[in-house]
């Protein structure tokens, strides 16, 4: 593709990426970068600025639907989503219009697994609660029954959804001497199960036998509120639930009630049903650890995600096959 043809292409980038990824866009095309306040680009502005663009580099905060595709126009070639999850994108709608959709898989697997483990340990051993307690400046003294959590070693970890990130979480369980069970509609091969030392089980068994459940399913109609009142009733009262996948997989009011009533011991959340809003009832509970969607938030990982999203975007606007294409049918 000649330089001049490249520079006639224009793209909308809905939020500044890390500097290395922004530099990778230099000279590749005309870039319209939303630089407003840290909140997501307002919908009206998104619709207006998408008009006439060849590519959109979107974040999980933007809804990509028929309305946005109409506003962009028929020359739109690609939506490069800066996330592994793409539940914010109406993929069938993009495919029917021949618009490519890409995501950023693999590069964030290890960072997200690390964060899931940070939440697991924070909940089991009451780490964030301990920090909050000291900051409250209340008097304290070491005591045999003070702020007791549970042993991690030798317990059962349940992985709900055992794709790339679920497997990376399971792999980290070895050092904690854990028994690992998983539920996923797609069963892993025997070789992978053996390598990871994991055992498939029905969802009900996962609920009943896990001391910690870590959620790694994508958000789909069948996983929305997968963890609701009924699921919490089936979990151990000593169990911990950690969600680093997508907020709506957990019914937040039901979770708050289960935590309040002692149906489960604790929860760790990195994602929220109505992100960035947090369910008010959760904010008042000490047995929940809340993080602001930090799963992939490391310098190395966000750089790799940004570079991959830009690479996909530039490929898409110049008629090449992007590296991590979600909808190959759009090419036909």
Q: How far is CA 173 from CA 14, 112, 139, 159, 256, in A?
A: 37, 15, 36, 11, 27
| Residue closer to ligand DGY (CB basis): 84 or 188 | 84
Q: Which parts of 84-103 interact with ligand DGY (CB under 6 A)?
A: 84-85
Of residues 109, 118, 210, 296, which one binds ligand DGY by CB under 6 A?
A: 296
Distance of CA 41 to the CA centre of its chain: 20
By CB under 6 A, residue 108 contacts ligand DGY = yes
- Distance linking the first and last C-alpha atoms of the chain: 21
With vertex at residue 94, the alpha carbon angle to CA 89 and CA 99, rounded to the nearest 5 degrees, is 120
| Residue closer to ligand DGY (CB basis): 85 or 158 | 85
183 is catalytic: no
By CB under 6 A, residue 295 contacts ligand DGY = yes
- Phi then psi for 260, rounded to 5 degrees? -65, -40
293 is catalytic: yes
- The stretch among 27-35, 81-89, 93-101, 235-243 that binds ligand DGY (CB under 6 A) is 81-89
Size of the site for ligand DGY (CB under 6 A): 7
By CB under 6 A, residue 83 contacts ligand DGY = yes
Question: Which one, of 200, 276, 290, 178, lies nearest residue 241 by Cα?
Answer: 290
- From the list 9, 216, 293, 302, the catalytic residue is 293
246 is catalytic: yes
- Phi then psi for 136, rounded to 5 degrees? -75, -10
By CB under 6 A, residue 57 contacts ligand DGY = no
By CB under 6 A, residue 268 contacts ligand DGY = no
With vertex at residue 301, the alpha carbon angle to CA 22 and CA 81, rounded to the nearest 5 degrees, is 60
Query: Where on the chain is the footprint of ligand DGY (CB under 6 A)?
Result: 60, 83-85, 108, 295-296
Query: Which active-site residues does the annotation give?
Result: 246, 275, 293
């Amino acid at each position: 593709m000649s330089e001049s043809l490249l520079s006639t292409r224009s793209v909308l980038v809905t939020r500044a990426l890390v500097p290395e990824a922004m530099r990778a866009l230099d000279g590749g095309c005309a870039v319209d970068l939303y630089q407003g306040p840290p909140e997501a680009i307002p919908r009206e502005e998104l619709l207006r600025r998408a008009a006439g663009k060849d590519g959109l580099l979107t974040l999980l905060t933007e809804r990509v639907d028929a309305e946005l595709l109409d506003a962009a126009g028929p020359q739109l070639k690609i939506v490069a989503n800066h996330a592994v999850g793409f539940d914010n994108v109406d993929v069938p709608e993009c495919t029917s219009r021949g618009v490519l959709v890409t995501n950023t898989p693999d590069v964030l697997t290890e960072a997200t697994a690390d964060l899931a483990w940070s939440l697991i340990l924070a909940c089991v051993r009451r780490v964030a609660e301990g920090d909050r307690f000291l900051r409250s400046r209340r008097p304290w003294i070491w005591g045999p029954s003070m702020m007791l959590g549970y042993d991690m070693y030798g317990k059962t970890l349940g992985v709900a959804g055992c794709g790339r990130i679920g497997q990376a979480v399971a792999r980290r369980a070895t050092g904690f001497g854990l028994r690992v069970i998983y539920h996923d509609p797609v069963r892993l091969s025997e070789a992978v199960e053996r390598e990871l030392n994991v055992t498939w089980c029905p969802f009900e068994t996962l609920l009943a036998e896990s001391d910690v459940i870590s959620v790694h399913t994508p958000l789909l109609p069948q996983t929305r509120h997968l963890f609701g009142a009924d699921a919490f009733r089936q979990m151990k009262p000593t169990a911990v639930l950690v969600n680093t996948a997508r907020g709506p997989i957990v019914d937040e009011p039901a979770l708050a009630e289960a935590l309040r009533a002692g149906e489960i011991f604790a929860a760790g959340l990195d994602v929220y049903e109505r992100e960035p809003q947090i369910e008010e009832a959760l904010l008042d509970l000490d047995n929940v650890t809340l993080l602001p969607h930090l799963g992939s938030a490391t310098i190395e990982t966000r750089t790799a995600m940004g570079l991959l999203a830009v690479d996909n975007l530039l490929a898409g606007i110049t008629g090449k096959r992007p590296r991590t294409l979600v909808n190959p049918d759009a090419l036909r």
